[in-house]
Amino acid sequence: MQGTSSQLATRTLIDTLLVIYTYLALEWLFLVTKPSFFTVLDWPERINIVATAALPLLVAGIVAWLLMLLLSRLLLAVVKKPCDSILLPLPLALILTVIITLLVDNFTYTLTGLGIASTSGGSAIVYSAAICILAVTIFRKLLRRYATPRNTPNPSPQVVLVILIMCSGAAALQTQLSATQVSNTSLTGLEDTQKYNVLFFATDGVQSEYISGYGYPEITTPNLDAMMAESLVFNAAISNAGRTTGSTVSMLNGKYPATTKVIFPPHTLMGADAFQHLPGMLRASGYMVFQESIRYYADGPDLNMREGFDYANMRHIDNTSVRGLSGQARIAFAQTSHFNKKIWERISDRVLHLSGVKPMNQAFQSVTGGKTAKIYGRRDRQRIDSATAFIREATQPFFMHLHLMNTHCCSFKPISRHFSGHLRKRRPKNRESFFLDTVVDSDRYFGEVIAALKATGNYDNTIIVYSSDHTLGWQVQRPMPLVIKLPDGQAVGHIDSTVQLIDVMPTVLEVLGRPLPAWVEGVSLIDEIRDPLRRVFSVDGIAKARVEGVKARITQLIGAGPPTYGVATGVMTVCQRWYSLDFSSGELTTGSMEGHPNPCEEEDLPDLIQGRAELTAHFTSRGFTLPTELLESED
């Protein structure tokens, strides 16, 4: 092998950097052609991300190449033979091995359901050996290739590389300049205010009519009922989304789902939205942040809530953001960082799995595992055990988000059998009896959490928010439970005005003595004066389907990007009246919320023309493009 020239060193470096671009392009193509966080971005943003993502990888490639060059020189000094460039192709060989492995793994997993994730024991060893053989084969071929000197240097690779690097630099500059367009962004934590603990407890898919404290004729929630006597109880609370993802995110960040475009997977928070949320603010001020919910649908890190959680759903979270950047630049490059994180996880998860260190962490499998009910993944019993252990061990103020799933429709498997004990099988006509028993189970778990707070002396200094995410039928036209216990009984009573989940975050911030950031769209519920005609906006119907190639019962949006981001219907609620707008047909339906505690006079409510206009304005002002005929019908 020719072991001398700087020409050979230059060739290996150029080829290495060009292959890095090739690898990025393939990973970008993989993510952009399937439902992913790219879905809600336009094409210039998608291209900009892959261009800027190349820069840190190019730096890593150059460092690896320099390291090989140094080791080669040391080898030359030891063996005194012309082999000073023998290690230079090694980074290139490793990158090519990664590319081929991922391509093969994607193909076999999509086609047959078999791949690295399905290996274990002996099959994992065989797979690892095959990859090692592939790497050695590629390395040997590269050695033979570089052993042949070029009589006439080919300038084409250099020209291509220079053009690509210039494009990456221009994309990075444009991204940095665009950071100044993001305004009213608060990434700081709380100042020297009272650091009460904060607990968000939600049970999935329960409207308030099933809660005994709200008037259900039999006792279903004795533990919640007891706390309601010393809390603010909201009798007309509306969810801002008919599905768990949009509802949970809106409660945690105080923004409408139409603003963030996070309604249902594959949506994730992007740009400034990824940093603007209550968990992140509290964590920045010294809180420990803990979450037990459900992967994929309601998991903070899965939804790209950056720098917000220390622990989420059985794993500790690495909150490293864009290294070396802060403030606006950190926000500007958040999408690039998210992309690089995803492609790194695709490599590291496979390496750790094959080495036996850690099984591949697949959100699909997390959602569909478990024996009690297959879509739940982790059982509520496990969630509560984890939560109460955290409370007992906490040594600093904490924020805890719990979301229980046993009440999730529709294969109810209760532990309690008070309402369903006389029934042998679940059938559509007796489904409610089994559901009510899961409500009882959820309340018992809530009682365990309350007991843990009291046992550790934390009950009186904890803000407790009890809620759900949507109704049993995934609709937003019925009220759900919303109970807020403030520390030391600061405010108690029943509130009959219509409120919404985006109001929870600003309420907590006010109790903590923190002014509201400008990006918060909710209002504090501590205020004495409430507008009974305040508009509540929600996303309701969605278009969804099972994920292709995945055996689990897991779904994603159809048409998750523009023009309507997968939303089929939008809803506006004013006092007891709701207005539902079908985005495809333009049909507007309206009705009254049954049993509203404080109905308004009909003449004070918007008519159909005004309701259509306000609903249309809410969505179009946030980037939704509604059908032309719908906009024309507004005139």
Which residues are paired to 483 by β-bridges?
A: 233, 466
Determine if the peptide bond prior to 410 is cis (ω within 30°).
yes
What phi, psi does 424 have (nearest 5°)?
-90, -40
Tokens of 600: 């308004």
Tally Cβ neighbours within 10 Å of residue 599.
16
In the block, which residue shows the tokens 């850690």?
Answer: 358
Domain residues of the chain, as ranges? 6-181, 197-303+372-531, 544-634
Residue 629 has pLDDT above 90, yes or no: no
Confidence of residue 241 (pLDDT cuts 50, 70, 90): very high
CB 259 within 8 A of CB 240: no
Q: How far apart are CA 598 and CA 592, in angstroms?
A: 12
363-367, 381-385, 548-552: range with lowest mean pLDDT: 363-367
DSSP for residue 106: H
Task: Indicate the length of the chain as a whole number.
Answer: 635
Query: In the predicted model, what is the mean pLDDT of residues 382-407?
Result: 95
The more confidently predicted of residues 629 and 261 is: 261
Residue 363 has pLDDT above 70, yes or no: no
The more confidently predicted of residues 375 and 28 is: 28
What integer pLDDT is reported at residue 510 of this predicted model? 92
What integer pLDDT is reported at residue 472 of this predicted model? 86
**Residue 215 Ramachandran class (φ > 0 left, ψ -120 to 50 alpha, else beta):** left
In the block, which residue shows the tokens 């252990």?
Answer: 389
What integer pLDDT is reported at residue 1 of this predicted model? 41
User: Tens digit of pLDDT for each residue in 314-343?
Assistant: 888 877 654 555 566 677 787 888 888 888
Residue 616 has pLDDT above 70, yes or no: yes
Q: What percent of the chain has pLDDT over 70?
A: 87
* Selection from 6-20, 98-112, 352-366, 461-475 with the highest mean pLDDT: 461-475
Q: Which residues contact 33 (CB under 8 A, 6 or more apart)?
A: none
Q: How far apart are CA 482 and CA 472, in angstroms?
A: 15
What integer pLDDT is reported at residue 177 of this predicted model? 75
What integer pLDDT is reported at residue 418 of this predicted model? 85
CB 224 within 8 A of CB 440: no
What phi, psi does 154 have (nearest 5°)?
-100, 115
CB 582 within 8 A of CB 590: no
The more confidently predicted of residues 501 and 107 is: 501
Q: How far apart are CA 127 and CA 174, in angstroms?
A: 43
Label residues 354-372 b or e (16+ Cβ within 10 Å = b): beeeeebbbbbbbbbbeeb
Looking at every residue in the chain, the average pLDDT score rounds to: 85
* Selection from 28-42, 254-268, 342-356 with the highest mean pLDDT: 254-268
Angle between helices 90-112 and 122-147 (to 10 degrees): 140
As a whole number of Å, the CA-based R_g of the chain is 28
What integer pLDDT is reported at residue 182 of this predicted model? 44
Which residues are paired to 388 by β-bridges?
A: none
- Three-state DSSP class for residue 429: helix
Q: How far apart are CA 109 and CA 550, in angstroms?
A: 9
What integer pLDDT is reported at residue 320 of this predicted model? 66
Residue 74 has pLDDT above 90, yes or no: no
DSSP for residue 240: S
What integer pLDDT is reported at residue 69 of this predicted model? 83
238-242, 327-331, 503-507, 610-614: range with lowest mean pLDDT: 327-331
Tokens of 21: 């671009």
In the block, which residue shows the tokens 């492995």?
Answer: 101
CB 579 within 8 A of CB 572: yes
What integer pLDDT is reported at residue 325 of this predicted model? 56
Q: How far apart are CA 558 and CA 556, in angstroms?
A: 7
In Å, the largest CA–CA distance within the chain is: 96
Q: Which residues contact 24 (CB under 8 A, 6 or more apart)?
A: 50, 53, 54, 57, 343
CB 532 within 8 A of CB 496: no
What integer pLDDT is reported at residue 70 of this predicted model? 85
Confidence of residue 85 (pLDDT cuts 50, 70, 90): low
What phi, psi does 223 have (nearest 5°)?
-70, -45
79-83, 94-98, 590-594: range with lowest mean pLDDT: 79-83
What integer pLDDT is reported at residue 179 of this predicted model? 61
What phi, psi does 240 have (nearest 5°)?
-90, 0
Tokens of 182: 């993001």
Query: In the predicted model, what is the mean pLDDT of residues 455-460?
Result: 96
CA distances in angstroms from 471 to 53, 242, 243, 435, listed in the order given: 41, 8, 9, 12
What is the model's pTM? 0.82
DSSP for residue 368: H
252-266, 405-419, 458-472: range with lowest mean pLDDT: 405-419
Confidence of residue 349 (pLDDT cuts 50, 70, 90): confident
Q: How far apart are CA 470 and CA 408, in angstroms?
A: 10
Residue 4 has pLDDT above 90, yes or no: no
40 closest CA partner among 561, 559, 626, 556? 561
CB 612 within 8 A of CB 600: no
CA distances in angstroms from 408 to 209, 213, 229, 459, 579, listed in the order given: 16, 20, 27, 28, 26
Tally Cβ neighbours within 10 Å of residue 582.
15
Q: How far apart are CA 484 and CA 492, in angstroms?
A: 9
Q: How far apart are CA 581 and CA 568, in angstroms?
A: 8
Tokens of 237: 């609370």
356-370, 401-415, 577-591: range with lowest mean pLDDT: 356-370
User: Tens digit of pLDDT for each residue in 148-169?
Assistant: 766 666 778 889 999 999 999 8
What integer pLDDT is reported at residue 367 of this predicted model? 44
Residue 201 has pLDDT above 70, yes or no: yes
Residue 359 has pLDDT above 70, yes or no: yes
What architecture is domain 197-303+372-531? 3-Layer(aba) Sandwich (3.40)
Tokens of 289: 């942040």
CA 275 to chain CA centroid, nearest Å: 12
Residue 300 has pLDDT above 50, yes or no: yes
Query: In the predicted model, what is the mean pLDDT of residues 100-120?
Result: 83
